[in-house]
Structure 1
Amino acid sequence: MTDLTEKFRKSENLETTLSRINQCITGTELNPATRPQMPLMLIMGCPRSGSTLLMQNLSRLGCFGYPSNLIARFYGNPAFGCEVQKALVDYDKEDQMGIKTQQLEFESQLGRVKGALAPSEFWYYWRRFFHFGEIQKLDDSQLHSVDSDAFLQGLASMESSLGKPLVMKGMLMNWHIDYLLNISERFVFTHIRRDLFSVAQSILESRVHYYGNRKTWWSFKPPEYPELAELGAIEQAAAQAVYTHHAVSMGMQLVPQSRSIEIDYLSLCQSPEAILSTIHQKYQDLGCPLDMPATPVQRFDHREQVRLNNDDEYALRSAIEKYQHQVSA
């Protein structure tokens, strides 16, 4: 296995402790909810497309429930985590735990955000049910074996505990939007898009941050990965961006307009209030009005600048164009 850089290495002690805790709480039923009753937003899209920034924006509003870092530690029974969070935060009037007054910052490292109440990617919960191998696509028999009832029951219990519509990342299932669409009519799919050159450039940078080199693959592997495994880093990053975007775009075509939201990364940075207005209207139309605060929304500096040298920029743009031609052929 390729070594990770120090800051991204997992703690074996933490993993062991969490595994023991979750073995104890899995199967403990805290409420009778079986299916989400409110719209549940799943954020889809390429890695490095702005999904974490969107999650940070939505988690700060107060009108959504979401898997915080604290809740996500209880991936075997996230409703249990919700109740723990309420005990440690919501009902801690004197803030004895020191969590309630923590500020949610708009900072992250490759999808990770610091703070007990900061949004988590929540992948441990998803991976309890969807057992991916090398690539991020399951075959029909693997999908058929998924306990979708238990998966939805866990989400429903979270919703019931938090008392709010949920929002979370769903990109682990970028290649299975059709499956998610079929198992619950409550899912609302939000596709966040970003210029593919910027996505691929950021993927290359993420490889260095995560592994200390450009050569090692980082993040989701498309079904085409076996054909890409021996290619150079620039070709791989271009293909990863194009194939992932294409898969999500094709999946989103299956989603009814009433359950579909499209968001552009630049718009999220420069006009976040317009994005939130779109989401507010969508939920209004779904019969789930959101009580969004009227306070001004913070704008953000985008990171669309070219940071590669001239040769790498040319090679990356050429590779993206090549793969775009392939998927459109």
Structure 2
Amino acid sequence: MTSVSQRPAPTPRQLTRTSDRLSFIYLERCTVHREANAITAQDAEGTTHIPSATIGTLLLGPGTRVTHQAMSVLGETGAAVCWVGEHGVRYYASGRALSRSSALMEAQARQWANPRQRLAVARDMYRMRFPDEDPTSLTRQELLGREGRRVKDCYRAQAARTGVPWRGRRYSPGDFTAGDTVNQSITAAAQCMYGIAHAVVTSLACSPALGFVHSGHELSFVLDIADLYKTEIGIPLAFDIAAESDEDPGPRTRRALRDRINEISLLNRCVDDIKRLLIPEATARAAAETDRDVVTLQTDGGHHIASGINYDDHENATW
């Protein structure tokens, strides 16, 4: 009988695209195992089967146990796996990427390494969030000030729309219940968005650390991408949840956010946004390069040559 370890790994073109996957699945207090090409979540109520190829991000909360076989199939199908804390408010670790191409990573590094280009990308991010403003001439300090005012305006507008009292943003790291209901909902929405953004960023083989607005953290670019949808999706949904009830804001926010993300196809949009930011001049051909499974070697003059060849007999060749 063929063992799991002897099965060939699927190629990138055989994998389900990031934009076609479920945004995230949160599991807690269960054992995660494998059955064929599905993972199973077993708890006191029974066993749930989840096709691994459909998962964008698997969030493993407290009380979860995951087997080697489960991690093997999740790795083969390119699902992002994140270990998180209670209510999903702490991020501990994650798994592998989906893409095997370095095209977007190299474009990201080029944009990040050039101070002018880095500022240009930050301005593009602001423009995507607030299309009614032109940030072309804004400095970094002005961008941060404008962004702060727009977020405050969003909080006040959503409070007025829903009738939820708003006393300011309150979040105590490590203490999810310290804030009122709406603050707990905002925190839960933000943490889910960070996980989703992380899944998309890593699935495209980008660097989570090379941010254009945020800096100095291993997830700087993840925070950049998640913030693109904060005032449009995360904050309004959090106020809606708080307006409905004070009971269990965390789980209700996660479920509502999952439904909203699927409704508007946010994963597909997130993929397109990252490509547009990092390769603004991308043609269909350039965008398609991110799906390649090709390894080349670098040589002089910025040329790339085929790998898998011994070049000892090509010392005098000119590329």
Coarse TM-score class (shorter-chain normalised)? under 0.3
Q: Which protein is richer in strand relative to its size?
A: 2
Q: TM-score, with normalisation over the residues of structure 1?
A: 0.24
Largest Rg, 1 or 2: 2
Higher relative contact order (CA 8 A, sep 6+): 1
